[in-house]
Amino acid sequence: MNAHRIAIAAFLVVVVALAVLPLAADKFYVQLFAKIMIMAILAMSLDLLLGYTGLVSFGHAAFYGAAGYALALLTPQYQAANFWTSFPLAVAASALLALVIGFFVVRTRGVYFIMVTLAFAQMLFFLFFDTKIAGGSDGIYIDVRPVAKIGDWQPFRLDDFTHVYYLALVLLVLTYALLRLILRSPFGRVLAGIRVNEQRMLSLGYPTFRYKLACFVISGALAGIAGYLSAVQFGVVNPEMLGWHLSAAVMMMVILGGMGTLVGPAIGAAIWMLLELGLQSLPSAGGVDFGKHWQLLMGGFIVLAALLLPNGLVSMIAVLRNRKGGIGG
């Protein structure tokens, strides 16, 4: 068996394991893993920018939150929105936002890109935090979840946590497949070329601005899928969804798992969410409530990870395997 077959087998095992999980686990774990899968979609969407195109976006939460807010604003009070219209509209809202923000940020490079993406995301954060649109700083509840009716037939119910779980699983697999297709296409090759040497791609006659902008929009739209799912799962949207702490967390997920691998960021999302949960349930020690102040340890973890894990966990596995085979790293 070669490495490619092992990878496909492992992928199938994970998907099947995720598919049967709700049969065995109780509500808490089903919801936790649904949340992890939502974060995995978000992390993979960022990997397209970060790992494949070399655009370090520090404002990715904006597109995640935008779709959530779009659903909140599309939901009439005390009534349900229609899933089949609200889902594409919410994703389109994220894509449109990415188009507008991208139009400005894609002109910049390197450290400017990092700062500008963060600044525009924070602008959106303050727009929802300071004004009374959709509940201001408290956020807004989506009391009645969207209904997915086709005529009289209702294939799934979004107020059922198991159905939300399966919807997240299906969308996770679809997002992964779509990204793989994009990356394999000539378009994906151009993105890789831009990452390695943008000047060269320009000289070859590729309008790199347009390619980067298109990539930014696709990435934003996929982040919107995650944001919509999150709003549906918990029935609440708040400015935190747009905030830079989430943007940084997604970046960590991508780095942890390994940039430019797609599977890596998904694994990174799982590690991150479980780590967060673990740290939050820490007891008090020496007069300090570590469970309450879990971000202290999370911060220390990020510092160490940035120092010690330049290419993520996936690369660690590769390094270990090479050592075993005697090739050496």
Partner 1 sequence: MDFFTFLIQVLNGVQYGLLLFLVSSGLTLVFGIMGVINVAHGSFYMIGAYFAWSLSEKLGSFWVALPAAIALTVAIGLVLEWLLIKRLYKRDHLYQVLLTYGLILVFEETRSILWGDDVHGVSIPAILSASIPLTENLSYPVYRLWISAVCLLVAGLMVWVIQKTRLGMTIRAGAANREMVQSLGLNIELVYRVVFAAGITLAGLAGMIAAPVSAVFPGMGNQVLIVCFVVIVIGGMGSVKGAMVASLLIGLVDTFGKVLHLEIGGLKLLPELSSMTVYLLMAVILLWRPEGIYGRRL
* 108 is an interface residue for partner 1 by CB under 8 A: yes
Question: In this complex, which beta carbon is closest to partner 1, that of residue 192 or of residue 302?
Answer: 302
* Interstrand relation of 147-150 and 140-141 (parallel, antiparallel or unpaired): unpaired
Contact 65, 136 (CB under 8 A): no
Find the binder of partner 1 among 150, 285, 307, 327 (CB under 8 A): 307
Q: Could you tell me the end-to-end alpha-carbon distance of the chain, in angstroms, rounded to an integer?
A: 23
Find the binder of partner 1 among 37, 49, 61, 118 (CB under 8 A): 118
* 31 is an interface residue for partner 1 by CB under 8 A: no
Question: In this complex, which beta carbon is closest to partner 1, that of residue 91 or of residue 250?
Answer: 250
Minimal distance in Å, beta carbon 83 to partner 1? 32
**DSSP assignment string, 244-311:** HHHHHHHHHHHHHH-TT-SHHHHHHHHHHHHHHHHHHT--EETTEETTTTHHHHHHHHHHHHHHH-TT
Minimal distance in Å, beta carbon 9 to partner 1? 32
Site size for partner 1 (CB under 8 A): 42
Contact 33, 21 (CB under 8 A): yes
Binding mask 36-55 for partner 1 (x = CB under 8 A): --------------x-----
Q: Which residues contact 15 (CB under 8 A, 6 or more apart)?
A: 169, 173
Question: In this complex, which beta carbon is closest to partner 1, that of residue 25 or of residue 96?
Answer: 96
Segment near partner 1 (CB under 8 A); pick from 37-45, 126-134, 157-165, 270-278: 126-134
Binding mask 127-156 for partner 1 (x = CB under 8 A): x--xx-------------------------
* 252 is an interface residue for partner 1 by CB under 8 A: yes
Find the binder of partner 1 among 6, 88, 107, 322 (CB under 8 A): 107
Minimal distance in Å, beta carbon 58 to partner 1? 7
Find the binder of partner 1 among 109, 180, 184, 321 (CB under 8 A): 109
Q: State residue 153 phi and psi, 5-degree precision.
A: -90, 135
Reduce the secondary structure of 41-93 to three states and give it as a string: HHHHHHHHHHHHHCCCCCCCHHHHHHHHHHHHHHCCCCCCCEHHHHHHHHHHH
Q: Which residues contact 200 (CB under 8 A, 6 or more apart)?
A: 193
Cβ neighbours of 79 (radius 10 Å): 9
Binding mask 262-301 for partner 1 (x = CB under 8 A): --------------------------x----x-xx-xxxx
Give the interface with partner 1 as residue ranges (CB under 8 A): 50, 56, 58, 104-105, 107-112, 114-116, 118-120, 122-123, 126-127, 130-131, 244, 248, 251-252, 255, 288, 293, 295-296, 298-303, 305-307, 310
